Amino acid sequence: MNQVAIKKDNPPSIRQFVTFIRSPKFLGAVLAIVNYVIIFIMLMAVILPKQYTLKVGDILQHPISATRDVEDTLTTEELRQAARESVSNIYRFDENITESVIVEIEQIFDQIQMARQLAQNKYEDYKKELQKKQEIQDSQDEQIIDQQQTENHEPSPDDILTDQFIGEIKEDFPIMLSNDEILTCLNADEDELVQLKDQLLKTLNKLLDLHIKQDNLLEARNTLRDEIMSLPVSNEVRLLGTTVGVSVLKPNMVFDQEATEQEKERAAQSVEPVIYKKGQYIVQAGQPITQKQYKMLQELGLLKEDKIDVTAYMSIGLMVLLVELIVILYLLAFEKRVVENPSHLLMISLIIWVVLGLALAVSQLHQYLIPIALGAMLLTVLIGPTTAGIINIALSILIGIMLDNNLYIMIMGITGGIVGIYLCNRAEQRNALVWAGLAVSCVNLMSIFSLEMLSSGEWFSSLKISTWGIGSGLLSGVFLIGTLPIWENLFGIVTPIKLMELANPNHPVLKRLLMEAPGTYHHSIIVANLAENAAEAIGADGLLARVGAYYHDIGKLKRPLYFKENQIATGNPHDKLSPTLSTNIIISHAKDGVELAKRYKVPRVVQDFISQHHGTTAVAYFYHKAKENNNENRIHIDDFRYPGPKPKKKETAIVMLADTVEAAVRSISDPTPGKVERLIRKLIKDKMDDGQLDDCHLTLKDLNTVANAFSGVMTGVFHERIEYPNIEEKK
């Protein structure tokens, strides 16, 4: 009484305040503040080490040590450059060049022979043409003949060597020759040309066997000239041979730039980087700061311009606030159900903290190893892809800021997270999560490689660095698979993967159902098919409806023979029981099923199907049997009803309807499509009239769609069969 009085005496403002602090809005606001503070502290702890105002040449009273491992890049580069310069150029012998020089000599002299033959043919044609003209002139009058005779003279080979003819010959030569050299080719003695060719081949072979480099090509050409000029041939032939030999002579020791660069880089890479370990003094007390030390201090972020770094605090605080506001506004606009669920908000916050904590730890090994996509993949499986998308962007930004505004990390996180969201949203088995992690690894590899190539232009080093991205994807997959059961159990979330595991026929409960109550098992399979088709038809969760249907009657395992579908070769034990006792046995299968589900750790969402699939409907058969056995008015139908509750979700209501439809349609003799559909619609209407669908938010349109889906499935189950003649069996 006193407690009641105290409650009544509470002013409305206090009651409203208590109601407010228990509301999802207040809890969400508190969680947002806590989230902001924790993220801000984590970023500040990483981003802002102790900073100094220094310049090159300053002398410090206290030493400065490295806050993390840092490379003395200037010294390292000096050592590597010295190693590069110590490597001599690498040449390789190209036998093809030797062969090509000899072939070219053969081609040139073949061309000379062709040119000489062409000139000879042209000269012969020229002589024939003059003879023909002479014959024509003989037929002319004497005056003209006398005049032509005065003009005729003996033809000479030089008459055909016009500039045009020489130009045509020059075009066919593989090397550039002057007009005089072309005339030498045409007019030289054949023996001298043969002698010149032999000497050229002999000299070139001898020189090329010595392996000519570009550096000593001039010396080889001079030797070639001396050899040719010593030939006992005309001076014109010697000059021709010199031109030909110098033109075709090439170095057959080729500078291998790629091999040289590789050797230089190998020598450079063999130089160990000069590393200052964490805690090692970079600047000693009493020593002036060198340019190299100043560079390392800059890399560590230990230098500052302002005495008080207020801007860093403000910038980090504003950035965290901006990211959090964007996430909140997005969730309010597109995922209001998440905002109204404090447990979901808490789970999102915990996942963000875990990923940021992993980023702090893993970044000590390598920044590209951070499993940024883990948060997006977890939230896709636990809540949905829409929420996961915005959290993935937020985490990528925060981790990028944490790692000195690293744009590459942000891009890797966003691209890898998007792929992870896409694949995890389709995952219905845990091994699919492994493939999702591998896909994220591939995307990370490509994104890092492209970004590093863009900045450095070096293929090998970019590929080497990008392999860390593979580790990031693999870590995301490992942590996803390893921690997913924890999140599922901690927050009571049933994921599609969990549902698929529950749907496995090898689950202990389903195995028992198959072995101990096969009729109920078969009935549950048909109900599951009905429920899944109907749920998908109205946009509900078909997988959840199927799994709920598998488990809705597991309570019958306690007394399987008291249910009609399991009474195959036995009598009906209810014939020996009173209607009231039979009713209690039938009704208790819902309670027994919940207890069994708890024992086997079946999730709460599936337990709802067990407790709600009959709602508060009455066991009509035993009610009427009790009425027949006892005509007194004290028999009331409410005593024969299930305790409930009524279905709260669309999926549980659909399983209730599917359960009723399957049992009823199975009892029809000669089931035709018309009979089946009429019965289905009547049963649904009866459930609606009885108030069993009041709490599940199914519309009339949904019920019509469900009836059509049921009709399609049941028509397939009870398809038209061939009628066989009755055969009397011996009793």
The DSSP string of 410-472 is: HHHHHHHHHHHHHHHHT--SHHHHHHHHHHHHHHHHHHHHHHHHHHH--HHHHHHHHHHHHHH
Going from the C-alpha of 712 to that of each of 323, 529, 549, 657, 718, the distances in angstroms are 50, 11, 18, 15, 10
* 303: DSSP letter: B
DSSP helix/strand/coil, 383: coil
Pick from 484, 513, 482: which is nearest to 497 by CA? 484
Domain end call among 488, 520, 542:
488
547 shares its domain with 456: no
Q: Token digits for 310?
A: 């207020």
Task: Give me the DSSP letters along 661-703.
Answer: HHHHHHT-SS--HHHHHHHHHHHHHHHHHTTTTTTS---HHHH
- d(CA 435, CA 250) in angstroms, rounded, equals 57
DSSP helix/strand/coil, 527: helix
pTM value is 0.59
On the 0-12 / 13-18 / 19+ scale of CB atoms within 10 A, 74 is: middle
479 shares its domain with 526: no
434 shares its domain with 553: no
480 shares its domain with 524: no
Domain end call among 458, 488, 518:
488
Asked if residue 29 is part of any domain, the answer here is no
Asked if residue 419 is part of any domain, the answer here is yes
Rounded to 10 deg, the angle between the 163-172 and 95-138 helix axes is 150
Q: For residue 84, give the H/E element and its range.
A: helix 73-85
483 shares its domain with 503: no
314 shares its domain with 451: yes
546 shares its domain with 480: no
Asked if residue 263 is part of any domain, the answer here is no
Asked if residue 233 is part of any domain, the answer here is yes
218 shares its domain with 314: no
Q: Token digits for 384?
A: 């949905």
Domain that holds residue 161: 92-255
157 shares its domain with 98: yes
249 touches 241 (CB < 8 A):
no
- d(CA 458, CA 222) in angstroms, rounded, equals 43
Please state the separation of Cα 135 from the chain's center in Å. Answer: 91
453 shares its domain with 504: no
Q: Which pLDDT value is given to residue 21?
A: 67
Q: Token digits for 425?
A: 């949203």
Q: Which pLDDT value is given to residue 595?
A: 93
- d(CA 274, CA 296) in angstroms, rounded, equals 11
394 touches 35 (CB < 8 A):
no
Asked if residue 555 is part of any domain, the answer here is yes
Asked if residue 731 is part of any domain, the answer here is no
Q: Which pLDDT value is given to residue 70?
A: 78
Asked if residue 297 is part of any domain, the answer here is no
Q: Which pLDDT value is given to residue 369?
A: 92
> At which residue do the structure tokens 């699939």 appear?
613
231 shares its domain with 368: no
Q: How many residues does the chain have?
A: 731
Q: Which residues of 686-695 are buried (b: 16+ CB within 10 A; e: fewer)?
A: ebeeeebbeb
Q: Which pLDDT value is given to residue 158?
A: 67
Which residues of the chain carry a pLDDT beneath 70?
Answer: 1-13, 15-22, 49, 67-68, 138-159, 301, 305-312, 569-570, 630-633, 718-731
Q: Would you call the peptide bond into 645 cis, given omega within 30 degrees of 0 as the criterion?
A: yes
Asked if residue 221 is part of any domain, the answer here is yes
395 touches 441 (CB < 8 A):
no
459 shares its domain with 577: no
DSSP helix/strand/coil, 617: coil
Q: What's the CATH code of the domain at 589?
A: 1.10.3210.10
Q: What's the CATH code of the domain at 361?
A: 1.10.1760
Count: domains in the chain = 3
Angle at CA of residue 661, ends 659 and 662, nearest 5°? 70
49 touches 300 (CB < 8 A):
yes
Q: Which pLDDT value is given to residue 235?
A: 87
Q: Which amino acid is at 56?
A: V
Q: Which amino acid is at 225?
A: R
Domain end call among 255, 271, 292:
255
Q: Token digits for 255?
A: 């500078």
β 70-71/91-93 pair status: unpaired
> What is the tens place of the pLDDT at every residue in 660-680?
998 888 777 777 888 888 999
